[in-house]
Chain A
Amino acid sequence: MTEKYNMPDERGHFGPYGGMFVAETLIPPIQELNAAYQRYLNDPEFMAELDADLKHYVGRPSPLYHAERWSRELGGAQIYLKREDLNHTGAHKINNTVGQALLAKRMGKTRIIAETGAGQHGVATATVAARLGLECVVYMGAVDVARQSLNVYRMKLLGAKVVAVESGSKTLKDALNEALRDWVTNVDNTFYIIGTVAGPHPYPAMVRDFQAIIGREARQQCLDQAGRLPDALVACVGGGSNAIGLFYPFIDDSSVKMIGVEAAGDGIETGRHSAPLCAGRPGVLHGNRTYLMEDDDGEIIETHSISAGLDYPGVGPEHAWLKDTGRAEYVNITDTEALEGFHALTRMEGIIPALESSHAMAYTMKLAPTMKKDEIIIVCLSGRGDKDMQTMAQREGIEL
Chain B
Amino acid sequence: MSRLAATFEQLSKTGRKALIPFVTAGDPRPDFTLPLMHAMVEAGADVIELGVPFSDPMADGPVIQRASERALEHKMSLRRTLAIAAEFRKTNQQTPVVLMGYVNPIEAMGYEDFANAAQRAEIDGVLTVDLPPEEAEECVALLKARDIDPIFLLAPNSTDERIKKMDAAGSGYLYYVSLKGVTGAGHLDTADVETKLKQIRANTRLPVAIGFGVKDAQTAKTVAGLGDGVVIGSALISKVEANPDDPERAKREIIELLVAMRQAMDS
Q: Do A and B come from one complex?
A: yes
Interface set of A (CB-CB < 8 Å, partner B): 11, 19-25, 27-29, 167-168, 173-174, 177, 180-181, 184-188, 282-287, 289, 292, 294, 296-301
> Are A25 and B177 closer than 8 Å at their CB atoms?
yes
- In Å, the complex CA distance between A180 and B129 comes to 13
Minimal beta-carbon separation of A32 from chain B (angstroms): 10
> Are A21 and B185 closer than 8 Å at their CB atoms?
no
The 9 A-B residue pairs with the shortest CB-CB distance, nearest first, are A298-B108, A298-B105, A25-B155, A297-B77, A185-B181, A24-B153, A23-B59, A299-B55, A28-B157
- In Å, the complex CA distance between A289 and B135 comes to 10
Q: B15-39: contact bitstring with A at CB < 8 Å (1 yes, 0 no)?
A: 0000000000000000000000000
How many interface contacts (CB-CB < 8 Å) are there between A and B? 120
Chain B residues whose C-beta falls within 8 Å of the C-beta of A296 in the assembled complex:
108
> Are A299 and B54 closer than 8 Å at their CB atoms?
yes
> What are 7 contact pairs spanning A and B, CB under 8 A?
A22-B132, A184-B182, A185-B180, A283-B108, A286-B58, A298-B104, A299-B54
Which of A20, A29, A177, A187 counts the most B-chain CB atoms under 10 A from its CB?
A177
Chain A residues whose C-beta falls within 8 Å of the C-beta of B69 in the assembled complex:
167-168
Contact pick for A23, options B109, B129, B159, B162, CB 8 Å: B129
- In Å, the complex CA distance between A282 and B56 comes to 16
Minimal beta-carbon separation of B132 from chain A (angstroms): 6
Contact A297:B154 (CB < 8 A) given known A20-B135, A25-B177 = no
Chain B residues whose C-beta falls within 8 Å of the C-beta of A286 in the assembled complex:
56, 58
Chain B residues whose C-beta falls within 8 Å of the C-beta of A25 in the assembled complex:
59, 153, 155-157, 177, 180-181
Chain A interface, >50% SS class = mixed
B106 at the A interface (CB under 8 A):
yes
Mark out the residues of chain B between 153 and 200 whose CB falls within 8 Å of any chain A CB in the assembled complex: 153-159, 162, 177, 180-182, 185
> Are B108 and A21 closer than 8 Å at their CB atoms?
no
> Are B56 and A297 closer than 8 Å at their CB atoms?
no
> Are A21 and B56 closer than 8 Å at their CB atoms?
no
> Are B105 and A299 closer than 8 Å at their CB atoms?
yes
> Are A167 and B180 closer than 8 Å at their CB atoms?
no
B72 at the A interface (CB under 8 A):
yes
> Are A21 and B78 closer than 8 Å at their CB atoms?
no
